[in-house]
Structures are given as structure tokens and as C-alpha cells.
Amino acid sequence: MRLEKLLEDLEYVCIQGSVDVEVEDVVYDTRKGIRPGSLFVCIRGRKWDGHGFAAQAAGKGAAALVVSEPVEDVAGMDVTVIQVANTRYALALLSAAWFGHPAEKMQVIGITGTKGKTTTTYLVKSILEHAGFKVGLMGTTGILVGNCLVQADNTTPESYVIQENFARMYQAGMEIVVMEVSSQALKQRRTAGFTFDYGIFTNLATDHIAPGEHASLEEYIACKGMLFGQCRIGIVNGDDAHVADVVKGHTCQLETYGLGEGCMLRASGLGLVRDPGKLGVAFHVSGLVELDAQAAMPGRFSVYNALCAIALCRHFGVEVDAVQQALLEVRVKGRIEKVEMPQRFTLLIDYAHNAMALENLLAALREYRPGRLVCLFGCGGDRAKRRRYEMGEVSGRLADLTVITSDNPRTEEPDQIIRDIETGIVPTGGKYVKIRDRREAIFYVLSQGQEGDIIVLAGKGHEDYQEIQGVKYHMDEREIVKEWLEGMGL
């Protein structure tokens, strides 16, 4: 493709060479290989700055460089240099053009919020597929095209990867794409270069405010709100305390859902459902849609997730029975995932890895009046210590028994992380035990399970690894449970 064609949607200055050159590939990471004719986009990351590799790229035959600052060491080399204000934004637009603007050929749904993104994407996918649509998915658990799941490094990948997979989805016959949109992705303009048909907001809490993430709550809110300047129809949680700030300055048509009287789609009459092998919640939906529904996952937050999916799927003309059936059948790996057990207790695996998520989960499960509520969790290393104290306090207050263990200690000592969690739990007076090895800890809670218990393995969710001293070791909690069952002859 000619460079001039790729640059059509960008404001730029050609400071060296000519835009009348042929581009054979678009590259933004030198580790992925630069070949003659490549267009190399110099991205500045946390650890590396692509501008420092500009001469190396030119030396390998790159046809052009896209920069946001001068790169003097390529002066006089046979390479075109294009200067833009923001190379991440440029990469997004260049990638969309390189892959032929695939988002324009499908309907794209973007879901943002602190919690509920993953579950809601799967709910939407399930409902739409029940109605006969072909749906691709992109999010925390990976990129799903048909039955093919590819792991992704981020909840919302780099813009090139987004466009590459949009193209894959379109070629595979997908009509709709539903994707999680993180605040970091919006901040870094990874989702630039196309317009979302629908933008969704689930909720917002004071998370992700830390060095390397967001400097303040105001910045976090502003980044979330960018989605509503990039979509045609916005569907938002009308009950959330921050919703007005999130949609401030929006350019889209807005709809609201929630439990409050003023919401355009509203749930009422919530009732708990606990049958053998089942924890759920039933409710009535009124307003934009009228129906009775039941979510196959517990808690008020499950009603919000379901409402959000219903609010969206009505735009696709989905019949009521398809909505109802899909809500009963959808299962999301690592999100209040029920593990089938021959025992007389309920075992759940959930990704709750901060205080807000853990409190919502445990408070919801307490409403089902378990014999005991048992919570096993650890905390990630190289992360804010405050999270450890807070999660310890939450579990100590809400669980009848807490088992403190390891999560992803990364470069920290697991014992220190466990002591930090203990600092939070001790003042609550809650009962707890410490078992450093997660496999041993899971064996312990299973062997101690009593009739009527609800046991939660929290923090890992969909993850099938444990990261220790920079190395990822395979560890899937489902496999550990299976190993225990086989050892018990069950």
C-alpha cells in the first residue's frame, strides 16, 4: 500500500523523504521484526521508547518512520520520516487503514467500566448468538472468533492487534464484535480509528489510580468518558454515582438502565434463586423492554450486568425468549464460575482481586445463607499494599473462614504479601488460616468443606498460571480441584 494512502486520515508533516513510497508492513515493536519496506511507528512505552530504535529500523530497510519528536540519527539515511503529534493515535489510524477499515463492515460494541466488563461481554455474546448472529469477542479472557480463542496481553490490545483481529473476524463471517474497552486503552488511543456503534458503561469505582495507571479519579473518569465521544449510541448505568461525569460532553444518543425509578430500562422485584447446583437471581424488567428474567449468577451486580445486556440486545431485535434462555445458560470462565462437585457444598471460582470486587461477591453470597462462607485468596506482588490490607479486612468481616495464600507474587516474597493481608484481617476478629502454597490451600478448603458451605477461590479467575520471580508457571484451579477429587476417589 502506498504511504500516502495510509496517511489519508492523519495530520502530519513529512520532514524527510517522500510519501510516494510503497509500504510492505506496519510495525511498532522491533521484536516482531522489521523487514525492507516496513513502516515503523515509534511508540513510547513505560520501559522502551521506539524513537531510540529509529536508526536500527532504517538500517534494516524500513521505508518510513512515524515519529512524534526529531530523530537526528536517521538524517541522510534512505528513509521517509513522518512527524505527528501522537504516535499511538497515528498507529491506530494507520492500522485501521492497513487492514481496510474492517470495523466499518461490522457492528462494534465497546464496554467500559471498573467491574462487569467481562461478564457483560459474554452475556451480550450469548444473547446475540441465541438470536442467530455471529459474534466475535475481545477482552480479558482473550480474543474469541467462533470457537478459536487466542490469548491477549491486555484487556484491550494495542490498536494494531485490534484492527488485525477485526479483519480476522470479518473474514470469518462475524457480523458483530463485542469488546472490553479499558481506561488505559482509551487514554492511549488504542481504540481510535473507528466509531463504536454502541458504547456501554457498567460502573466506576476508585480503582486503577496509581503510578503507571491514572494520576487521579478525575483522569480515570475522563478516560472512561472518551468512549461516549466515539460511539453512536451510549447505554449507561443510570444508578452509578459517577455517570453524569462519565458522559459529560458526550456526542452520542444516551439510554440508561438500572434499578432506579428514572432509568429507561429498569429491574424490580429481585428474588434470590437457590436450587441444587444453582445460585441465581430473578427479576422483572420494565421500560424499554417488558419481560421476566433470571440470571444464572448470584447478586445484585448480576442483575446490572443482565440489564445492560438486555438494553443493548433490544437494538438487534432479539426476541424475549432468546434473551431469557441465554441469561440462564451463559457461563463465564472465572466469573462466579460454579465447579461441579459431588460434595454437598458449592464451589465457585472468581476473579475478584481487589476489595470492591471481593466485597460485592461475598456480600452477595451471604444473602444465600450458606452454612459457612469460606474465602480463599491471595494478592498480587508488585502492586499497592493498600489492596492487601483492604482485601484482608473485607474477607475477615464477611467470610466465616478465610484461607490466605499466594496469588501472583511476581518479584515479591509470598510470605510478606501474606503478612500484609493478615494485617488487614486481624482487627476484624475473623477466623483465618495461612497456607502459602495455593494448591495445598485449595486441597485444605475442599477437605474441610461442610454441607451447605459456599467456598470461593478468589483472585485467579480465568488465569491458568502463577507468576513467581518473573516466570509464569502453569496452574489452573480447575485442574487442582479435579486432582483432589481423583485423589479422594470421587
pLDDT in tens, the chain (490 residues): 999 999 999 999 999 999 999 999 999 988 888 999 999 999 988 778 999 999 999 999 999 999 999 998 999 899 999 999 999 999 999 999 999 999 999 999 999 999 999 999 999 999 999 999 999 999 999 999 988 998 887 889 999 999 999 999 999 999 999 999 999 999 999 999 999 999 999 999 876 656 667 778 899 999 999 999 999 999 999 999 999 999 999 999 999 999 999 999 999 999 999 887 789 999 999 999 999 999 999 999 999 999 999 999 999 999 999 999 999 998 889 999 999 998 889 999 999 999 989 999 999 999 999 999 999 999 999 988 999 999 999 999 999 999 999 999 999 999 999 999 999 999 999 999 999 999 999 999 999 999 999 999 999 999 999 999 989 999 999 999 999 999 999 8
176 neighbors 170 (Cβ within 8 angstroms): no
Residues 6+ apart with CB under 8 A from 26: 6, 38, 39, 41, 91, 94, 95, 98, 160
Packing angle, helices 300-313 and 320-329, rounded to 10: 140
C-alpha to C-alpha distance for 115 and 476, rounded to whole angstroms: 23
C-alpha to C-alpha distance for 253 and 288, rounded to whole angstroms: 15
Residue 360: strand, helix, or coil: helix
Q: Which helix (H) or strand (E) holds 402?
A: strand 401-404
331 neighbors 462 (Cβ within 8 angstroms): no
Q: Which of 368, 402, 354 is nearest to 298 (CA)?
A: 368
Question: Which residue do the cell numbers 473518569 mark?
Answer: 221
Determine how many CB atoms are found less than 10 A away from the CB of residue 422: 17
Write down the pLDDT at residue 210.
Answer: 64
Residues 6+ apart with CB under 8 A from 421: 377, 378, 379, 388, 389, 391, 392, 404
Write down the pLDDT at residue 211.
Answer: 64
52 neighbors 68 (Cβ within 8 angstroms): no
Lay out the sheet containing 25-27: strands in order across: 13-16, 80-83, 64-67, 38-41, 25-27
230 φ/ψ angles, rounded to the nearest 5 degrees: -135, 20
